[in-house]
Chains A and B, each alone.
Chain A
């Protein structure tokens, strides 16, 4: 029962704030609603027993990436964009195509859901701390992606400095 309440509460919260992100005129409000959506997703991760991912989501996404977004929103001037038309000329076509995509995905899941067994996780394994399990998988099977992630971060550092630093 508790499971259901938590899941549906966070699911509804995530969807509502996602809609708000897309529809708000003010970018700062969009950013705040994006934080809500990310935190709601973090709640769903907790409900799914991904404790480590929950913490990563809160620290990195809600605490880190959003700080970057808000800084950039403050960096570029706000008032210019408030008076402009927020949606582009072909918005109806884009909306239509996106809704078609959504409908396709919905049909795919609705048809295929019968094939999904009701997930019963192995209880003994799940009792272990999630961090330990993640670490064991990450540092045995996924060593190469892990090292590549460091190169990705290096490239991101250099790219961001090159992009932003030309003249202050």
Chain B
């Protein structure tokens, strides 16, 4: 039993080992062999073009968070769809009704987001807030 279980993942393991070894060796080699002559021009974010002003870590709009949040929650929904899709022939109508109910509940959330303007990037959300 020992070792036989993971035998089928041996290529994956080989891949992982190779990738880690290669990246480790490359970083190590470049830090050992290469020399450093730091200068102000080199440490600029862009080699050419306009000179950057201010800090790169500007706090940005909360809309990014909302989009990421919506993505995660619907990602979770998709995760539940996978095993369902795998066996839905066995489940027949029971599984179908089950999944319709599940998606229906999440559709409520979807319409809520839509109504609230969480899916709009530009216009309505800002205007509504200004009006109120």
Contact = CB atoms under 8 A, between A and B. Distances in A.
Q: Do A and B come into direct contact in the complex, CB within 8 Å?
A: yes
Contact of A153 (B84, B87, B101, B106): B106
Contacts of A72: 65
B76 to A, nearest CB: 6
A67 interface: yes
Nearest to B110: A157
Q: Is the interface of B mostly helix, strand, loop or mixed?
A: helix
Find the residue from B10, B86, B101 having the highest chain A CB count within 10 A. Answer: B86
Given A71-B68, A79-B57, A131 B113 contact: no
A165 B116 contact: yes
A71 B72 CA distance: 12
Interface of A: 1-4, 6, 46-47, 49, 52, 56, 59-60, 64-65, 67-68, 71-72, 74-79, 120, 129, 131-132, 134-136, 138-139, 143, 146-147, 149-151, 153-154, 156-158, 160-161, 164-165, 167-168
Interface stretch (B1-9, B25-33, B34-42): B1-9
Contacts of B65: 68, 71-72, 75, 164
A139 B83 contact: yes
8 contacts: A46-B9, A60-B75, A64-B71, A67-B68, A74-B64, A150-B102, A164-B62, A168-B126
Contact of B112 (A3, A71, A139, A161): A161
Q: State the 3 A-B residue pairs at the shortest beta-carbon distance, nearest first.
A: A135-B83, A157-B109, A2-B3
B69 A160 contact: yes
Contacts of B71: 64, 67
Interface string B74-102: 01110110111011001100010010011
A46 B6 CA distance: 9
B62 A168 contact: yes
A52 B87 CA distance: 14
Contacts of A129: 86
A6 B6 contact: yes
B18 interface: no
B47 interface: no
B105 A75 contact: no
A135 B91 CA distance: 10
B5 A49 contact: yes
A6 B13 contact: yes
A160 B120 CA distance: 16
